[in-house]
Amino acid sequence: MRRRHVGVLVVVGLEAVNAATWLVFPPADDGRPDFLRQCLAEFAASAAVLLFAVALVLATRARWIEPFFGGLDRMYRVHRRAAVAGFLLLVAHVTVVPWLLDSPGGTPSGLIAFVGIVVLVLLSIGPRLPLLRNLITVSYRSWRHSHKLIGLFFAFGFAHALLVDQVVETTVVPFALLLAAYVVGIVAYLYTVLLARFVRPRYRYVIDDVRRLNPTTLEVSLRPRKARRLVFTSGQFVFVKIRRSGLREPHPFTVSSSPSEDRLRLTIKAVGDYTARLHAHAEAGCRATVEGSYGMLDYRRAGRRQIWIAGGIGITPFLSWLREMERPDERRIDLYYTVRQPAEALFQDEMRAAAVRNPGLRVHLNVSAETGSLTVDRIVADQAADLADADVFMCGPVPMVKAFERGFRRRGLPSARIHFEEFSFR
């Protein structure tokens, strides 16, 4: 079993343990009406609490957890899925539970927790759903600030659990597990909002140079303000906060420079409100805080035959890899760089120079406006041998990455040989 699967198995295992405790140590029937219905509702609530606690723990961005999920991007994917699954179980709890409205403290706290979590979950998943996309529009900045309230509503849920008359309180083991989940979730939340800023690895930088490469893309060069500088592996990403009005919220960016460079380079495309402001207002002299590094996309851990696929600004981790290859590499690498228009194809001279230094590297530029979309079939047709021993690395828009993943899987390439970054933290 690969270490990157351990995290998901632990989450599933926690839910299985919770279900087992309810079966082995069932609550005592105290003769109340709708006892079975009450038990089902409380079991759904306990399962939801466990998942929300998991989501809060993963939101800490604790670096020691990252390897057990295969990278911070996958940690956040599990974070989102745990929160959504917890939300559905919470809805089941509210739907099934017999509403007695006999607790002056428990009922209001439960309603506050439920309504608050519903609103925050809809703000998170609404923009992803076709039916809600046009109704729920919120900027990343507003979403990020509102999302911090999730732990507060989780605490209201804890108050609700303590104040209402639950059947779970009649059985020690399930009740102890429920309380432990609440405590762990609340501690994780308090760590995130109060302590993480002092514990996470942060470095002080200043923007040294800004190059606007085309109307939508810029390269920002940062130098450390002190001797302490970021240590990273090529292909990793960082969270950057520019200390200037309108740019202070931290955003993740892949480092495009080599680890051996004395400057940190970020290649950024204006694809949203924040990156558009950054493209317009970033300038030399602006101070920045860099947190990281994160991510586990590393070509050096894979085999000798590799296929790299970059879509648009997804070229950034591959730039870092190419810039690190100062001497010929023994691997045979095909880099496919696909863009919509010729003006979007950046760093072509660097890529050609890297191919000269490394005879095993071939660079393929695909301009979809001229030659159509890049497809798995076109890549396979270009290969001299089958894909059985190839490792595929991808970075780009999520729909593109998912389409290529499905295509390679249909071609028989095992998932262990398909590597990509899910660069979405909302």
CATH number at residue 31: 1.20.120
Domain of 227, in residue numbers:
202-294
Q: Model confidence at 334, in pLDDT bands (50, 70, 90)? A: very high
Q: Check whether residue 62 and residue 142 sit in a common domain.
A: yes
pLDDT class of 197 with cuts at 50, 70, 90: confident
Share the mean pLDDT of the chain: 90
Let me know: does 279 contact 212? Beta carbons within 8 Å. yes
pLDDT at 4: 80
User: Domain with 228 in it: what CATH number?
Assistant: 2.40.30.10
Average pLDDT over residues 44-57: 97
Both 244 and 312 in one domain: the answer is no
Question: For residue 424, what pLDDT is reported?
Answer: 59
Q: Considering the domain boundaries, does residue 133 fall inside one? A: yes
Structure tokens given for 12: 């599933």
Residue 403 — pLDDT band, cuts 50, 70, 90? very high
Domain limit, last residue, from 273, 294, 315: 294
Q: Check residue 134 and give its pLDDT.
A: 66
Token reading at 354: 């890297």
For 396-405, what is the mean pLDDT? Answer: 92
Decide if 158 contacts 127 (C-beta within 8 A): no
pLDDT at 200 over 60: yes
- Residues of the chain with pLDDT > 70: what percent? 94
The verdict on 323 and 275 lying in the same domain is no
Residue in this structure with the two tokens 């079975």, named with its chain if needed: 36
Instruction: Write the pLDDT tens digit of every residue in 352-391.
Output: 999 999 989 999 999 999 999 999 999 998 887 778 789 9
Same domain, 137 and 148: yes
Residue 426 lies in a domain: no
Write down which residue in 294, 329, 348 finishes a domain: 294
**Predicted local distance difference test score (pLDDT) of residue 126:** 66
Residue 347 lies in a domain: yes
Give me the mean pLDDT over the 175-195 stretch.
96
Provide the pLDDT for residue 194. 93
Looking at per-residue confidence, does 143 or 173 come out higher? 173
- The band of 31, judged by pLDDT with boundaries at 50, 70 and 90, is confident
- Res 425 pLDDT > 60: no
Q: Are residues 271 and 332 in the same domain?
A: no
Q: Residue 75's pLDDT band (boundaries 50, 70, 90)?
A: very high
- Give the Cα-Cα-Cα angle 103, 107, 109 (nearest 5 degrees): 125
Specify whether 15 is located in the same domain as 162.
yes
Q: Say what the pTM is.
A: 0.88
Decide if pLDDT at 136 tops 70: no
At 226 the pLDDT is 84
Nearest Cα neighbor of 252 from 263, 264, 232, 236 is 236
User: Would you say 247 and 278 are in contact if contact means Cβ atoms under 8 Å apart?
Assistant: yes
pLDDT tens-digit map of 209-268: 999 999 999 999 999 998 889 999 999 999 999 998 888 888 999 999 999 999 999 999
- CA 264, CA 101: separation in Å to the nearest integer? 58
Tokens 């403290």 correspond to: 105
- Show the 3-state SS of the chain: CCHHHHHHHHHHHHHHHHHHHHHHCCCCCCCCCCHHHHHHHHHHHHHHHHHHHHHHHHCCCCCCCHHHCCCHHHHHHHHHHHHHHHHHHHHHHHHHCCCCCCCCCHHHHHHHHHHHHHHHHHHHHHHHCCCCCCCCCCCHHHHHHHHCCHHHHHHHHHHHHHHCCCCHHHCHHHHHHHHHHHHHHHHHHHHHHHHHHHHCCEEEEEEEEEEEEECCEEEEEEEECCCCCCCCCCCCEEEEEECCCCCCCCEEEEECCCCCCCCEEEEEECCCHHHHHHHHHCCCCCEEEEEEEECCCCHHHCCCEEEEEEEHHHHHHHHHHHHHCCCCCCCEEEEEEEECCHHHCCCHHHHHHHHHHCCCEEEEEEEHHHHCCCCHHHHHHHCCCCCCCEEEEEECCHHHHHHHHHHHHHCCCCHHHEEECCCCCC
* Residue 172 and residue 42 share a domain: yes
* Residue 1 in this model has a pLDDT that exceeds 60: no
- Residue 221 identity: S
- Domain C-terminal end among 237, 270, 294: 294
Residue 209: predicted pLDDT? 95
Give yes or no: residues 209 and 330 share one domain.
Answer: no
- 392 and 414 in one domain? yes
Considering the domain architecture, whether residues 29 and 101 belong to the same structural domain is answered as: yes
Q: What is the pLDDT of residue 135?
A: 66
Residue 51 in domain: yes
Query: CA–CA separation, 291 vs 58, rounded Å?
Result: 17
Q: What is the pLDDT of residue 165?
A: 85
Residue 50 has pLDDT above 90, yes or no: yes
- Please give the Cα distance from 361 to 354 (Å, whole number): 8
Token code pair at residue 24: 């082995």
Cα distance between residue 329 and residue 321, in whole Å: 11
pLDDT score for 22 = 97
Higher-confidence position of 226 and 105: 226
Share of the chain above pLDDT 90, in %: 65
Residue 425 falls inside a structural domain? no
pLDDT at residue 341, as a whole number: 93
Asked whether residue 310 is assigned to any structural domain, the reply reads yes
And the tokens for 133? 């996309």
Question: Is 319 in the same domain as 389?
Answer: yes
Task: Decide if 368 is inside a domain.
Answer: yes
Q: Are residues 147 and 222 in the same domain?
A: no
CATH number at residue 369: 3.40.50.80
Q: Which two tokens stand for residue 210?
A: 């800004």
- Over 90: is that where the pLDDT of 56 sits? yes
Query: Per the structure, how many domains does the chain have?
Result: 3
Q: Is the pLDDT of residue 122 over 90?
A: no
Note whether residue 69 is domain-resident.
yes
How confident is the model over 58-85, as a mean pLDDT? 92
